[in-house]
Amino acid sequence: LAGSFETGSLAGCRVLVTAGPTREAIDPVRFVSNRSSGRMGYAVAAAAREAGARVTLVSGPVALDGPAGIERVMVETAEEMRVAVQAHLTGCDIFIGAAAVADYRPAQAAAQKLKKHNATLSLDLVRNPDILAEVARAHPRPFTVGFAAETEDLDANARTKRMQKSLDMIAANRVGPGQGFDVGDNALTLYWEGGSESLPHQSKTRLARELIARIAQRFHDAPP
Ligand code: CTP
Ligand code: CA
């Protein structure tokens, strides 16, 4: 058995994975976030480890245990995730951005708990850095894989995202009530330069193994 790990498709490779949501503080007790459970990213990290890679998992707040044999770095905000990713990028062969990074954060977190003085409340939000796009712009860069969470126009949106962020591969999934986020199973369509493939609906554990197999194949055939 040990031999099959050593000769796995990612033996000797270093893989960096982001997973889970991020939390962006509104005040000391409230935050902006999303429905990501982290399960897809954790399954991807575990599958990369099974394939023989040395895996670092940078994780937002989730209710999951760290997979065995993996270095896990816990973060809360997008900015913290960005710093942790940059700190672990050296020597990384493959980057897989599975985190549901909050696109915006409150322009300023209130120092004290907000009081309900008015009938309505507006929050000023500012854009967070795009961690995945930054990794793809690095020199040298790892084989860079992103996810695309979409509620509509899956195919067109995923292709555009892959091109705009110069990704080696993108894995697109539908999200919405009972789909994609916060459920145990999922389906993915993969896009790369000159090709695409749909992986059927199945448990995130099995889906992650299929995804890792495709990534390993493309990484060896067409390194970045
Ligand atoms: N991502 C990231 N940093 C961000 C936003 C997104 O690293 N600040 C990564 C995600 O981990 C994912 C990919 O970018 O791998 C796409 O995320 P998604 O939310 O689907 O797309 P966005 O580029 O954020 O665009 P939009 O939300 O407008 O569709
Ligand atoms: Ca987004």
**Token pair listed for 124:** 């000023």
Pocket test for ligand 1, best of 86, 105, 130, 157 (most atoms within 8 A of CB): 130
Q: Where are the alpha helices (DSSP H) in the chain?
A: 2-6, 39-50, 78-87, 131-137, 154-164, 204-221
Mean pLDDT to the nearest integer, 170-185: 88
- Over the stretch 37-60, which tens digit does the pLDDT of each residue have? 999 999 999 999 999 999 999 999
- Over the stretch 88-107, which tens digit does the pLDDT of each residue have? 999 999 999 999 999 999 99
Which pLDDT band holds residue 3 (cuts at 50, 70, 90)? very low
Which pLDDT band holds residue 2 (cuts at 50, 70, 90)? very low
pLDDT of res. 183: 87
**Whether the CB of 24 sits within 6 Å of ligand 1:** no
pLDDT of res. 222: 85
**Whether the CB of 147 sits within 6 Å of ligand 1:** yes
Quote the ipTM score. 0.99
Answer yes or no: is pLDDT of 80 > 50. Answer: yes
pLDDT of res. 7: 53
pLDDT of res. 177: 84
Answer yes or no: is pLDDT of 220 > 90. Answer: yes
Answer yes or no: is pLDDT of 26 > 60. Answer: yes
Pocket test for ligand 1, best of 132, 169, 175, 179 (most atoms within 8 A of CB): 132
**Token pair listed for 135:** 């990794």
**Whether the CB of 131 sits within 6 Å of ligand 1:** yes
CA gap 174, 193 in Å, rounded: 21
Q: Helix 39-50 to helix 204-221 angle, to the nearest 10 degrees?
A: 50
pLDDT of res. 104: 98
- Over the stretch 110-153, which tens digit does the pLDDT of each residue have? 999 999 999 999 999 999 999 999 999 999 999 999 999 999 99
Tell me the pTM: 0.96
Mean pLDDT (the chain, rounded): 95
Closest to 94 measured CA to CA, from 57, 127, 40: 57
34 annotated active-site? yes
